[in-house]
Amino acid sequence: MIYSLDNARSLLAIAAILFFCWLLSENKRRFPFVMAAGALALQAGLVALMFAFPQTQPALTAVAGSFNGLAAATDEGTKFVFSFLGGGDQPYMVASPGGDAPFIFAFRVLPLILVISALSALLWHWGLLKVVIRGFGLVFQKTMGIGGASATAAAANIFMGMVESPIVIRGYLDKLTRSEIFMMMVLGLGTVAGSTLVAYALFLGPVLPNAAAHVLVASIISAPACVLLARIMIPEIPGQGGAVSDYTSDLKYESSMDAITRGTQDGLQVVLNIAATLIVFVALVALANALMALAPDVAGAPLTLQRILGWAFAPLAYVMGVSWADAEVAGQLLGVKLFLTEFIAFIDLSNPELAISERSRMIMTYAICGFANVGSVGIMVAGLTALFPPDRRALILELAWKSLAPGFLATMMTASVVAAMPEAMFR
């Protein structure tokens, strides 16, 4: 069957997400119908462009090859520093299939984020990343009617983090309207940084065909969803906001070496934050499960935090397009992503023993590919209050928690758009 009820059900999820954000709107009379049409068309068009045409297969292969090449190059540096812990020759017999080096997260994944961060800074200094961001900014301007610094920030969020992208338009932060600031915050929570994209692709590569392409497309097409949901909740006041795109930037490096050095330093902060967050949250989950194990079994199994999250979010996953057989597992991933981190959710999703179909795994790749979680709100507030003028910090604090809902729903909307399209498109 080319099209099924699972596909059609996803259309209801899109409508429900738009309706929910409209209920939270500060001006329900100003629903952006034109922007909604443009955002959905842009999302569906980009997915079709990447997966529906045979001519794009070389591009998908190139994306996967570049990601694998970056991972392989990073492995060489990691082996040099950490020897056998980083995948080098083992000094003893390893009890693993084929005697391969053990996959240690701290030495095989986190160094990759360092390399991507440094490479991104270098490409920015050389101007290549600026050209790409400008291209996406023009697309957002033409299809969604946003302009000025907002279009640049939206494009930058595809490749940069929630703190790095505002630096690109730092010279305009004091001029942004309330609606534009909220949009920037939602974009920061609803997308991921390029430094983590490759890590996610590395996780999913063994269990999901075209994993690198799916992760890259997920980050790109979530940006229009973020812009749309932000504008629904806090519409722009007529006559305010940027009308003309300006791509000048305060983010500058003195030289290529300065770009590499500062990019590495920025990446180190990300690595330390990820490592510390994973240690703390995994420990807290284990502690919560240990406490709940004292309670009687439920439905023949011990009660765990993951099971509770699965039950709570299973209806959302089902409406989004996941089959009911996979809904509880998918619900667990959504709950882990929202209350812990998307990093842990991606690690869980990449488990080959996870009882979930390939289609559901693909949908969940899009659904969890965003920074929207409780911990990220604090990181975002800390970063933005340091960048914005002091007189605007109260506004940042006011909008921070409000931006979490549309940031979380944006990736669900993206996943729903993908789920609504024929499955044969992705084969």
Q: Which of 245, 259, 268, 219 is closest to 124 using CA atoms?
A: 259
Higher pLDDT, 316 or 279: 316
- Whether residue 169 is predicted with pLDDT greater than 90 in this model: the reply is no
CA atoms of 321 and 365, how far apart (whole Å): 13
Q: What 3-state DSSP class applies to 255? A: coil
108 within 8 A of 84, measured Cβ to Cβ? no
CA atoms of 180 and 189, how far apart (whole Å): 14
Residue 243: pLDDT band (50, 70, 90) is: very low
Take residue 239 and report the two structure tokens written for it.
């006559």
The pLDDT of residue 135: 77
Range of the domain at 218: 5-426
- Whether residue 363 is predicted with pLDDT greater than 90 in this model: the reply is yes
Take residue 260 and report the two structure tokens written for it.
């590499």
Q: What 3-state DSSP class applies to 26? A: coil
- Whether residue 45 is predicted with pLDDT greater than 50 in this model: the reply is yes
Taking the alpha carbons of 369, 374, 380, 383 in that order, is the dihedral positive or negative? negative
- Whether residue 280 is predicted with pLDDT greater than 60 in this model: the reply is yes
The residues, ordered by sequence, that sit 6+ positions from 86 with a Cβ below 8 Å of its Cβ are: 75, 78, 79, 80, 104, 107, 108, 111
Take residue 36 and report the two structure tokens written for it.
């909604």
DSSP code string of 312-325: HHHHHHHHHT--HH
CA atoms of 335 and 281, how far apart (whole Å): 13
Q: What 3-state DSSP class applies to 298? A: strand
- Whether residue 247 is predicted with pLDDT greater than 60 in this model: the reply is no
Higher pLDDT, 316 or 299: 316
Q: Which of 176, 169, 188, 174 is closest to 250 using CA atoms?
A: 169
DSSP code string of 108-167: HTHHHHHHHHHHHHHHHHHTHHHHHHHHHHHHHHHHH---HHHHHHHHHTTTS-TTHHHH
Take residue 71 and report the two structure tokens written for it.
């991972």
Average confidence (pLDDT) over 116-136: 80
Average confidence (pLDDT) over 395-421: 91
pTM of the model: 0.81
- How buried is 151 (Cβ within 10 angstroms: 0-12 exposed, 13-18 middle, 19+ buried)? buried
The total domain count for the chain is 1
The pLDDT of residue 238: 65
| Gyration radius of the chain over CA positions | 21
